[in-house]
Structure 1
Amino acid sequence: MKILFLDQSGKPGGAELCLIDIAKPYRDRALVGLFADGSFKTLLQQNHIPVEVFTHQPIQVRKQSNLLQALGSLGQLAPLVAKVVQRAIEYDLIYANTQKALVVGAIASLLARRPLVYHLHDILSPEHFSKTNLRVAVNLANRFASLVIANSQASEAAFVQAGGRAELTTVIYNGFEPKLYQTCALDTSKLRQNLGIEDKFVVGHFSRLSPWKGQHILIEALAKCPPQVTALLVGDALFGEQEYVKQLHQQIAQLGLENRVKFLGFRADIPQLMAACDLVTHTSTAPEPFGRVIVEAMLCGKPVVAAKAGGATELVEHGINGFLTTPGEPEELANIINSCLEDIHNTATIANNAKAIASERFNVVNINRQIAQVLSSKLIVY
């Protein structure tokens, strides 16, 4: 099966990292078409996956765009659609990995007469998308997609609640290569020393700096923990969220936590940094479609505290392979952090459980096998 993968981003986010793993088995008979240039193209090339940037003109539609803004983008889509159609004729299947890719892929599917798969990495809800974008995504998927792969039951349920056809959907979780999360104890020790945290209880937070990602909740919880508890914030502000970063620094100063919070910015050494932590927190205030960082921490053998909403509740069983806390409740989060600090034996047991379960449940080999099966069994001939 020859597959044309489509993705809107030039930067590697969670959906893009997932696409790399999905495309690898097909790399001798596939092409990834991007709607923007950037570091994601480089990552694909490093993994020997054929890639082509179809346009260098940004598509001026965002998740909260209204109808007029969406209509205004149609003119710039025409050359892009034409290029995708030209390419799609050479392949058996169009695989749209993002919402903008769905829009272009749906039109190309009609014109090139190729079946379309939509990989849903989002919770399609008013909290994240405008009404216009919700209607567009659901209607296009209903009309043109032969299959909608949802990355969690939460994503699937939101799609159906928004009007999506349930019979189109199947749930397949994101896949991971466990070997990538194996680290050296000596290197971890050196990293902790370089960061000045060798004698601290380190709580890591791995996400872009954004209000709904909830870094402010961790900071407030930190103020309710003993002085040896230190937080590492790994990630940058994107999409004009620099004002939130200023607010975080103001909050830290007001609470007197300047020596207990470290901003590390964007880092490529995520497994190593996770290994340097004693605990990893996930504090999103709105439901996550999946929660990639949760599984990554598990694979690193670290206990995870996750916000009890969305896909996270499908990944974490409280007290068995991690902890769940009410979103937006810093005191509850602080209590769990303190209990992990006090009961190291139980915390280690939970971390070991998490690593064993995640290594099997989310192994990329098993996940890719599931994807191959549904592509073969559920797709219809256009």
Structure 2
Amino acid sequence: MTENNGFLNIMDSSVWGGMEQYVYDMSEELEQQGISPFVLTDIGNLEFIDRYSEVATVLPIKLRKNSRYLYVNTVAKFMSEHNIDTILCHTGKFILFALILKKLTGAKVLFFKHNILPAKTDIYHRWIQDQVDGFVCVSKCVYDAQVVKENKEKYHLIYNGINTHRFPQVEVEYKLQDDNFIVGYAGRISIEKGIMELLGAIKILHEQGRGVELRMCGAISEDTLSQINSYIQSNHMEAYVKNLGFKKDVNQFYRTIDCLVVPSKIQEAFGLVICESMYCNTPVITSKSGAQEEIITNGEDGILLDIVEDKTIAHAITYLMDNPIEYEKIRKNAYSRVKSTFTIEKMVASIKQL
């Protein structure tokens, strides 16, 4: 592979989340490692066009529904003009389109697996598995669920990685109230992510007279926001629960909280916000609902919850509050763990090697 070759990510969805940030960070690092990054997205998705234009050359077309097939020759010509030899597909709805482009251009297709779902083995999906050049699984949980015995050699475990350049050491206002232990939540704010149990835990600690404050950071739907606000108001928690909304730059957020709690009740394919917080020297409390156990060793570089309940979360927060020596040990080990294993540099180098 020469330095002039390009990678084309196909990316379009309704909201910006972990997978979308994955492509953004990958594109930025590809440039650093001598590969030209390109992103194919829908012409009507102005947010994605603007964001990805910061780190890649963006080709907007009518990508949604069947309209994309009218533009297959346009994309193939673009790939030829820009020496793009690798297509990176991140969702099944675009894989057939990617394989048609492969047929037209001779490019390789890598299919990235971001979800813990069992592989399908019907005739259509077996054909897909035969045609794709390689599958990239972002965690061992995903790999174990996805790998197909007949094509096992095509499946590769390449851990997700954080863009460490987004998290420099900065001078921050450490706390607004020095007496409070500040608990943070980052990521999509939803019921299945354990947000109501986290609110319940904060309520328990407040009733016990503990000085705690919860700061939530992330995108949220109107329905979820209504439920959360109703709970906060009915329990008179407005003074110590703050919803900060979506933040593009979360470095200062991680560095101004005392711990991050991510009590997800659904299987997580990875844990990007977990790694980000750990890299920022902020301890993490999270559930065992997926790949979190691949990132954290309980009691060494974070705390894992056996059960997501108000009381178990409150107990874990109390442990960090009351054990400063253990807190410091976890904080330092967490940083070392992410720096050694879960960085974007390592991730992109592995993709290039593949």
TM range (shorter): 0.7 to 0.9
Query: Could you tell me which residue of structure 2 aligns to residue 157 of structure 1?
Result: 144
- Cα distance, 1:350 vs. partner? 0.3
Residue correspondence of structure 1 range 44-123 to structure 2 within 5 A: 44-47=52-55, 49-55=56-62, 59=64, 73=65, 75-89=66-80, 90-123=83-116
Query: Could you tell me which residue of structure 2 aligns to residue 68 of structure 1?
Result: none
* CA deviation map 1:43-68 (0-9, x unaligned): 33323x2122122x6x3xxxxxxxxx
Distance 1:140 1:87 in 2: 27
Whether 1:229 and 2:212 are equivalent positions in the alignment is yes
* CA deviation map 1:23-81 (0-9, x unaligned): 3354463422113533333333323x2122122x6x3xxxxxxxxxxxxx4x4332244
Number of residues paired by the alignment? 341
* CA deviation map 1:189-237 (0-9, x unaligned): 3xx33xxx44311110001222222211100111221441111111122
Q: Which runs of 5+ in 1 are unaligned?
A: 60-72, 375-382
| Counterpart contact for 1:202–1:229, Cα < 8 Å | yes
Alpha carbons of 1:46 and 1:248: their partners in 2 closer, same or farther (altered >3 Å)? same
Alpha carbons of 1:268 and 1:112: their partners in 2 closer, same or farther (altered >3 Å)? same
Q: Which runs of 5+ in 2 are unaligned?
A: none
Counterpart residue identity of residue 23, structure 2:
L
- Cα distance, 1:367 vs. partner? 2.1
Alpha carbons of 1:208 and 1:157: their partners in 2 closer, same or farther (altered >3 Å)? same
Alpha carbons of 1:154 and 1:124: their partners in 2 closer, same or farther (altered >3 Å)? same
Alpha carbons of 1:38 and 1:11: their partners in 2 closer, same or farther (altered >3 Å)? farther
Counterpart residue identity of residue 112, structure 2:
H
Distance 1:298 1:80 in 2: 43
Whether 1:142 and 2:136 are equivalent positions in the alignment is no
Alpha carbons of 1:340 and 1:369: their partners in 2 closer, same or farther (altered >3 Å)? same
Using structure 2 for the length normalisation, give the TM-score. Answer: 0.87
- Cα distance, 1:327 vs. partner? 4.7
Whether 1:35 and 2:28 are equivalent positions in the alignment is no
Cα RMSD (Å): 2.6
- Partner of 1:46: helix, strand, or coil? coil
Query: Could you tell me which residue of structure 1 aligns to residue 166 of structure 2?
Result: 180
| Counterpart contact for 1:116–1:145, Cα < 8 Å | yes
Distance 1:201 1:81 in 2: 54
- Cα distance, 1:351 vs. partner? 0.8
Alpha carbons of 1:201 and 1:26: their partners in 2 closer, same or farther (altered >3 Å)? closer
Using structure 1 for the length normalisation, give the TM-score. Answer: 0.81
Distance 2:190 2:198 in 1: 13
Alpha carbons of 1:232 and 1:95: their partners in 2 closer, same or farther (altered >3 Å)? same
- Partner of 1:208: helix, strand, or coil? coil
Aligned pair partner of 1:269 in 212, 227, 249: 249
| Counterpart contact for 1:103–1:137, Cα < 8 Å | no
Distance 1:275 1:122 in 2: 29
Distance 1:216 1:81 in 2: 45
Distance 2:193 2:126 in 1: 29
Alpha carbons of 1:30 and 1:350: their partners in 2 closer, same or farther (altered >3 Å)? closer
Counterpart residue identity of residue 102, structure 2:
S
| Counterpart contact for 2:305–2:312, Cα < 8 Å | yes
Counterpart residue identity of residue 8, structure 1:
D
Whether 1:13 and 2:17 are equivalent positions in the alignment is yes
Residue correspondence of structure 1 range 313-328 to structure 2 within 5 A: 313-328=293-308
Distance 1:263 1:338 in 2: 22
- Cα distance, 1:334 vs. partner? 1.0
Whether 1:243 and 2:247 are equivalent positions in the alignment is no
Query: Could you tell me which residue of structure 1 aligns to residue 291 of structure 2?
Result: 311
- Partner of 1:332: helix, strand, or coil? helix
Query: Could you tell me which residue of structure 2 aligns to residue 378 of structure 1?
Result: none
- Partner of 1:188: helix, strand, or coil? coil
